[in-house]
Chains A and B, each alone.
Chain A
């Protein structure tokens, strides 16, 4: 099929949309509602292009290309239509870009600039709604919403949660939860995927930078920071460094310049999780179940399970997430060893995730009144802080993390990609069951960005069946198969965000799947280059068990590193 776009003859596949043909030829057509991989809604009309045969404007996102079609994507008529759409959207939009969290990374702002909007042509009454600040993770500002519907779609069609939908009609339409209650009492799992697709500042992470800066300023407070493995492979993107570059050492340097007193990688906590979770798996294998064992690292999945699949509570690993394990070790053990009053320690966690802000407040995540993690910053908040502190990452020299928890295996670092937890746990479970390491440590079947992956690993007599799922919509599909008896596994990893933490709701904005892929590749190259590649060969971790915890799953370990779940009543 041949299509003429902007006087160039292009080849189109049957059923392919004009938008997609144009994109393939490097012609970028603006759109506010298009979502890659989902059927078009044609809601925003930004993508209209001119059909040169009829002179009509047609939405390129939903128009299939046909043979002989002649299109101009940026004809004066199309440009005028787009500019008018932006002007009309701005007519009901607060003029507060300078104060907006999306200032500089807002699609509406970009299009307004690209189309040369220089004045407010339409004045009229603007809608005013209350901010929803009820959630520990996500702030909703309906005044800035342009009703593109992407948040509703990602919540329903990708995550299978449906916490929000369109409410009302006509000019009164807004996005809200059932009965317009706060997000905190809705079925929202705090994953933040809605923020990732929002073209404006209508959705954002709850900003905790001020609390962290206040702690850094207080001379009496020791500020200890942990940072997740999916952070150091994304921060670079915002500083003009090649995407997919791991800058963990430079990040350590930057954090010291900002005034953080101690730096420990969350991957140490991940190694700890691997040991505890693998021993939980081994215990279940020896005692015959219950199977499958589900991973528990992803707090969005945990809340999802408590709301929609409460019968699975006993199947989910009781292990806390790496963030909370490391937090507990720092606040409850490390402070004692170093003669520091835990009440004078402020523990910051830098995460690719908005749900971690919710997780650190869950029951059991504190000892007495001392919280294990005091503040969680997303990657985006951390990037804002680096810029605020005037740090030029190009000029920062790499520095190691602090001891004793600075050592981590690469098994603890691949946690950031979907399949990483499973691969690391399989490495260690194999060792625990056979006393030897896997002949090849890589479990290739578990790598990649597919939503559902399966593998069978032979461990001695046992054929260990495992599955890896990312995206809660995919999780729903797999869980329903498991509950219907169509599938059976020993061990299932579930990550809330599609692709895992590298595509978490707290990461730098990107709509490009190649960027996500580069983040994943970065993590696996760290693994292939590492000398310590299994959690059980982490020497500092072994010392932690020898000095304090005893054996994996011991009473001391259970007290500090494990938690419990319960069904959750929400309107869903």
Chain B
């Protein structure tokens, strides 16, 4: 992990040009967990692309993050079934409870929030997953308790 790792990824994909950008971004995120400024600068130097362009492309897609994952990574399903069962207020409660927007990480580094299109557990809707652990058929007033239980784990 780290900048050297990014350099390794880049050296395995020689040549400049924007057509190589997305596979590189995916590989770097896979390795680092997110796209840091340092990584973007290295990728830019490698492909001869300005940082603003890389950031522009990366923000076009939901899959790219610019903050390290929290210790507890929360995925909120906003697929059709979960939407019908009320996932929108659940997401709102999470945003309020954690005081971060989707794609961001709390300042203490404990929680990160991600919106996903479908988690593949429609029978459990509405559902959120915390580090892969599913919380099924939840309601928005349960969010505080769920978050608290992870806060306690962190102590």
Contact = CB atoms under 8 A, between A and B. Distances in A.
A572 B60 CA distance: 19
A232 interface: no
B134 interface: no
A164 interface: yes
Contact of A187 (B50, B54, B55): B50
A303 B37 CA distance: 21
Given A178-B40, A571-B37, A167 B59 contact: yes
A10 to B, nearest CB: 39
Interface residues of A, number: 18
B23 interface: no
Nearest to B45: A572
B60 A177 contact: no
Q: How would you classify the secondary structure of chain A's contact residues: helix, strand, loop or mixed?
A: mixed
B59 A572 contact: no
Contact of A165 (B37, B41, B53, B61): B53
Nearest to B55: A178
Instruction: State which size class the interface on B falls in.
Output: 10 to 19
Interface in B47-61: 50-56, 59-61
A169 interface: yes
Contacts of A180: 55
- Between A156, A187, A572, the greatest number of chain B beta carbons within 10 A of the residue's beta carbon is seen for A572
A138 interface: no
B66 A162 contact: no
A349 interface: no
Contacts of A523: none
Contact of A162 (B41, B50, B59, B61): B50
A168 interface: yes
Given A179-B37, A179-B66, A571 B51 contact: yes
Interface in A145-193: 156, 162-169, 176-180, 186-187
B126 interface: no
Contacts of A571: 37, 40-41, 51
Contacts of A163: 50, 52
B60 A178 contact: no
B50 A572 contact: yes
A462 B126 CA distance: 82
Given A168-B60, A169-B60, A179-B66, A162 B37 contact: no
A308 to B, nearest CB: 10
B79 interface: no
Interface string B24-66: 0000000000000100110010000011111110011100001
A179 B55 contact: yes
A236 B55 CA distance: 42
Given A571-B37, A571-B40, A177 B52 contact: yes
B96 to A, nearest CB: 18
Given A178-B40, A179-B37, A572 B51 contact: yes
Contact of A169 (B41, B52, B59): B59
A31 to B, nearest CB: 23
A423 B30 CA distance: 56
- Between A164, A169, A177, A571, the greatest number of chain B beta carbons within 10 A of the residue's beta carbon is seen for A571
A137 B37 CA distance: 25
A166 B54 CA distance: 10
Contacts of A165: 50, 52-53, 55-56
Nearest to B61: A169
10 contacts: A162-B50, A164-B52, A176-B55, A178-B40, A178-B50, A179-B40, A571-B37, A571-B40, A571-B51, A572-B41
Given A167-B56, A168-B59, A186-B52, 12 more contacts: A162-B53, A164-B52, A165-B52, A166-B56, A168-B60, A177-B52, A177-B55, A178-B40, A187-B50, A187-B52, A571-B40, A572-B51
Interface of A: 156, 162-169, 176-180, 186-187, 571-572
* Closest CB pairs A-B (n = 8): A162-B50, A165-B56, A178-B51, A165-B52, A178-B55, A178-B52, A571-B51, A169-B60
